[in-house]
Amino acid sequence: MSNLVLQCMNVSKSFRDAGLLVDVLSDINLSIAAGERIAIVGSSGSGKSTLLHLLGGLEEPTQGEVWVAGKKLSELNQAQRGMWRNQNLGFIYQFHHLLPEFTALENVAMPLLIRKTNPSDAKRQAFEILEKVGLSKRVDHKPGEMSGGERQRAAIARALVTKPRCVLADEPTGNLDRHTADQVYQTMLELNAAIETSLVVVTHDETLAHRMDKIYHIKDGKLQTSV
pLDDT tens-place string over residues 126-184 = 998 898 888 888 899 999 999 888 888 898 888 888 888 898 988 877 767 777 777 77
Residue 2 has pLDDT above 70, yes or no: no
133 vs 166: CA distance, rounded Å: 18
In degrees, rounded to 5, the angle at the alpha carbon of residue 208 between the alpha carbons of residues 203 and 211 is 120
pLDDT for residue 107: 93
pLDDT for residue 104: 93
158 vs 171: CA distance, rounded Å: 16
Classify burial at 208, counting beta carbons within 10 Å of its beta carbon; exposed 0-12, middle 13-18, buried 19 or more.
buried
- Whole-number average pLDDT of the chain: 85
In degrees, rounded to 5, the angle at the alpha carbon of residue 116 between the alpha carbons of residues 118 and 100 is 90
* Cα dihedral sign, 42-31-70-110: negative
146 vs 139: CA distance, rounded Å: 10
Closest to 12 (Cα-Cα) out of 67, 84, 66, 62: 62
In degrees, rounded to 5, the angle at the alpha carbon of residue 86 between the alpha carbons of residues 83 and 90 is 155
The two beta strands, 37-41 and 198-203, are parallel
pLDDT for residue 207: 80
103 vs 150: CA distance, rounded Å: 12
Query: Is the model more confident about 216 or about 15?
Result: 216
Residue 56 has pLDDT above 70, yes or no: yes
Residue 105 has pLDDT above 70, yes or no: yes
From residue 177, how far is each of 64, 180, 211, 219, 227 by CA, in Å? Answer: 38, 5, 18, 27, 29
Residue 204 has pLDDT above 50, yes or no: yes
Query: Is the model more confident about 4 or about 178?
Result: 4
31 vs 147: CA distance, rounded Å: 36
pLDDT for residue 226: 65
Residues 206-212, mean pLDDT to the nearest whole number:
83
CB atoms within 10 A of CB 143: 19
pLDDT for residue 190: 81
DSSP calls for 7-18:
EEEEEEEEEEET
pLDDT in tens, 65-76: 999 988 899 888
**Please, which residues bridge with residue 39 across strands?**
201, 215
DSSP calls for 118-183:
-HHHHHHHHHHHHHHTT-TTSTT--GGGS-HHHHHHHHHHHHHTT--SEEEEESTTTTS-HHHHHH
% of the chain at pLDDT higher than 70: 97
Q: Which domains does the chain have, with CATH numbers?
A: 36-60+89-225 (3.40.50.300)
Residues 2-23, mean pLDDT to the nearest whole number:
84
Query: Is the model more confident about 187 or about 6?
Result: 6
Residue 212 has pLDDT above 50, yes or no: yes
pLDDT for residue 1: 45
pLDDT in tens, 16-35: 777 787 888 888 899 998 88
